[in-house]
Amino acid sequence: MQYQAPANDLRFLLFDVLGADKLHELEKYADATPDLISAVIDEAGKLAAEVIQPTNQVGDRQGCQYNPETHEVTTPDGFREAYTRFVEGGWTALDAPLQYGGQGLPHTLKFVVDEMVCSTNLSLGMYPGLTHGAISALYAHGSEELKDTYLEKLISGQWTGTMCLTEPQCGTDLGLIRTRAAPNDDGSYAIEGTKIWITGGEHDLVDNIVHLVLAKLPGAPDTTKGISLFVVPKVLPDTGERNRAFCGGLEHKMGIKGSATCVMNFEGAKG
């Protein structure tokens, strides 16, 4: 069945219920006129129906494939091409900050686009979804050096991001994590530990994946107060070397099989 975006319903919610037709009155969102918002809704609906939805069924039938010899993950047929179309259309940059190549549009509008993308293929939508979380964390809390190194490529969709929290021995009680970060002489850290359920931890959509990893420094409290957050790229941007962050396998799931949910092993990875 061909997806048909509920464009009129979305416009009603945005304009008549939420008052998004007045966002352009704010200096920050001067470009977000009702006409532009309406055009974004229409174009996102076309993208969802014509590019994203055709990958949905094959995604669950094929699932992602793991190669234990290379630690690489292959996404289902059509995923890479659809992701490339998504990136080329600028959809990864929709609400991202202008100074790092984003379009600076309201986050409310991104929610609408996410609704259509995830309605047509949730598995595929999770890759840019996790990247958006990494962008938000780095923009809010990263140093200027980290922002300059990672944000532009994450926002453009050239790289993707993850969030590495859960470990085999603990679920929601993150105070029990065992991943450790040992300081190196150059100011970086050596990350040791295993994470599970990591969405987009390894895949073939892009050449580099930026992992945000929860870990504890030496002597840190054995509670959530002892947790720090580290940026651990798959490929080190300054040298092009492969970092020691490897996929150890794919989790077995009942659905969203086109989303690579990975076990990730950090073996002295540079963070």
8 A C-beta contact, residue 196 and residue 168: yes
Residues 217 and 121 both lie in one domain:
no
Q: Is residue 41 in some structural domain?
A: yes
Tell me what pLDDT residue 171 has: 81
Q: Is residue 2 in some structural domain?
A: no
Confidence of residue 130 (pLDDT cuts 50, 70, 90): very high
Q: Is residue 49 in some structural domain?
A: yes
Domain ends where: 135, 156, 177?
A: 156
Calculate what percentage of the chain has a pLDDT beyond 70.
100
Residue-wise pLDDT for 34-68, tens only, equals: 999 999 999 999 999 999 999 999 999 999 999 99
Residues 92 and 54 both lie in one domain:
yes
Tell me what pLDDT residue 1 has: 79
Query: Burial level of 152, CB count in 10 A (0-12/13-18/19+)?
Result: middle
CA separation for the pair 209, 106 (Å, rounded): 26
Tell me what pLDDT residue 260 has: 98
**Strand pairing class (261-270; 189-199):** antiparallel
Residues 100 and 221 both lie in one domain:
no
Residues 212 and 81 both lie in one domain:
no
Both tokens of 185, joined, read 């002489």
Residues 151 and 169 both lie in one domain:
no
Residue entry with tokens 């490529």: 153
CA separation for the pair 215, 179 (Å, rounded): 5
Domain ends where: 156, 186, 217?
A: 156
Residue-wise pLDDT for 69-117, tens only, equals: 999 999 999 999 999 999 999 999 999 999 999 999 999 999 999 999 9
The total number of structural domains in the chain stands at 2
Residues 107 and 166 both lie in one domain:
no
Residues 131 and 27 both lie in one domain:
yes
Q: Is residue 217 in some structural domain?
A: yes
List the domain range (segments joined by +) for residue 261.
160-270
How many C-beta atoms lie closer than 10 Å to residue 16's C-beta? 10
Residues 86 and 149 both lie in one domain:
yes
Residue closest to 42 by CA, chosen among 6, 13, 18: 6
Q: Is residue 149 in some structural domain?
A: yes
Residues 103 and 177 both lie in one domain:
no
Residue entry with tokens 């490339």: 84
The average confidence (pLDDT) of the chain is 97
Would the pLDDT of 240 be above 90?
A: yes
Query: What's the pTM?
Result: 0.96
259-260-266 Cα angle (round to 5): 150
Q: Is residue 1 in some structural domain?
A: no
CA–CA distances in Å: residue 53 to residues 111, 118, 152, 206, 228: 18, 9, 28, 21, 38
Tell me what pLDDT residue 195 has: 98
Could you give the 3-state DSSP secondary structure of residue 88?
helix
Confidence of residue 172 (pLDDT cuts 50, 70, 90): confident
CATH number of the domain to which 65 belongs: 1.10.540.10
Q: Is residue 53 in some structural domain?
A: yes
Residues 39 and 133 both lie in one domain:
yes
Domain ends where: 109, 134, 156?
A: 156
What interhelical angle do 122-141 and 144-156 show, nearest 10?
160
CATH number of the domain to which 176 belongs: 2.40.110.20
- Give the residue ranges of DSSP H helices in the chain: 7-11, 34-47, 56-62, 79-88, 107-120, 122-141, 144-156
Tell me what pLDDT residue 46 has: 98
Residue-wise pLDDT for 158-169, tens only, equals: 999 999 999 999
Residue-wise pLDDT for 20-29, tens only, equals: 999 999 999 9
Residues 164 and 152 both lie in one domain:
no
Q: Is residue 168 in some structural domain?
A: yes
Assign residue 43 a region (left: φ > 0; alpha: ψ between -120 and 50; beta: otherwise). alpha
Tell me what pLDDT residue 75 has: 98
